[in-house]
Amino acid sequence: MAPSLLANRAVRYQRSLRDELGITAHAERFVARNGDRVARGPLAGLRYWPSGDAPISKLLGCYEREIQPWIYQCLRERPTRFFDLGAGDGYYAVGLARFGIPVNAFEVSVDARRAIKQLATLNQVEVHVHGKATSRRLRRLPLDGALVLSDCEGNEAKIFDPPTISALSHSLVIVELHEARHPGITKELVGRFSESHHSETVAPEPRDPAEYPELAVMPPKQAQLCLSEMRTDKDLRWAFFMPRT
């Protein structure tokens, strides 16, 4: 089956699962109480919808909280462009476009590409939307001074091959690493980037609903579920690669 069809199936399955678990309904009530703008974090002010992926986590501003210090650091560096590989529904792509950064979003799912365009329209920004990210496509981009964010569901080793890493020698790069799908990928990519980049890695942290006053109206189990990012990978990491020069 074509990758785009498989990706569409995954997007639709996740959407139906959120509906079945009641997350979408909770998110609709959350928006009715608190509004549709991200409350905190580097993307604060971004408009987002209750039908999206991990909607309450994103609206609270704690989605992938582990990498937020890196996002802040990258924004201080004023990247020339932002390339979002595996952009999903456009949370990061549209969020960073609001800073006036030119954005190119790559996403294999047709449904998700449609969502990116709709989210960009909602936030009155422009995002250039493309299909699947590959190492060859990445190398053809104007990468010097750019920020690259990758969440390509286990294809990190294929995308960040040695020629591509050489082309990224003056780029900031954040990669979600799926150890369960590719054991040893964290060590492998840190080694590949080591000549041109410094690196940091981080693992997921637990979330405490008590940290977010907006969740106080929910029973604890529902609050924890809505705070969840519904990840299936049990051994996830993120890596941040910063140019040495």
pLDDT per residue, tens digit, the chain (245 aa), is: 556 666 666 666 576 767 777 889 999 999 999 999 999 999 999 999 998 889 999 999 999 999 999 999 999 999 999 999 999 999 999 999 999 999 999 999 999 999 999 999 999 999 999 999 999 999 999 999 999 999 997 789 999 999 999 999 999 999 999 998 889 999 999 999 999 999 999 999 989 999 999 999 998 999 998 888 877 667 899 999 999 98
Amino acid making up residue 40 = R
66: closest CA among 87, 94, 42? 42
Where do the structural domains in the chain lie, given as residue ranges?
Answer: 64-243
Return the closest-CA partner of residue 105 out of 75, 127, 124.
127
pLDDT of amino acid 41: 97
According to the model, what pLDDT value does residue 6 have? 65
Residue 79 tokens read as 């990247």
User: Which pairs with CB-CB distance under 8 Å and at least 24 residues apart come from 12-21?
Assistant: 12/111, 14/53, 14/230, 15/51, 17/230, 18/53, 18/55, 18/230, 21/225
Rounded Cα–Cα distance for residues 228 and 226 (Å): 5
Tokens for 187? 């060590």
Backbone φ/ψ region at 46: left (φ over 0), alpha (ψ -120 to 50), beta: beta
pLDDT at 153: 79
- Which of the 8 DSSP states describes residue 47? B
Q: Which amino acid is at 204?
A: P
**Distance between CA 50 and CA 11 in Å, rounded?**
15
What number of helices (H) and strands (E) belong to the chain?
Answer: 11, 7
Q: Which pLDDT belongs to residue 226?
A: 86
Residue 5, pLDDT score: 61
Which CATH code for domain 64-243? 3.40.50.150
Q: Which residues of 43-79 are buried (b: 16+ CB within 10 A; e: fewer)?
A: beebbbbbebbbbbbbbbbbbbbebbebbeebeeeeb
In terms of phi and psi (left: phi > 0; alpha: psi -120 to 50; beta: otherwise), the region of 221 is alpha
Residue 6 CA: distances (Å) to CA of 28, 53, 63, 94, 108: 28, 17, 25, 24, 9
Asked if 162 and 192 touch (Cβ cutoff 8 Å), the reply is: yes
User: What are residue 237's phi and psi, to 5 degrees?
Assistant: -140, 160
What Rg do the C-alpha atoms of the chain give, in angstroms? Answer: 17
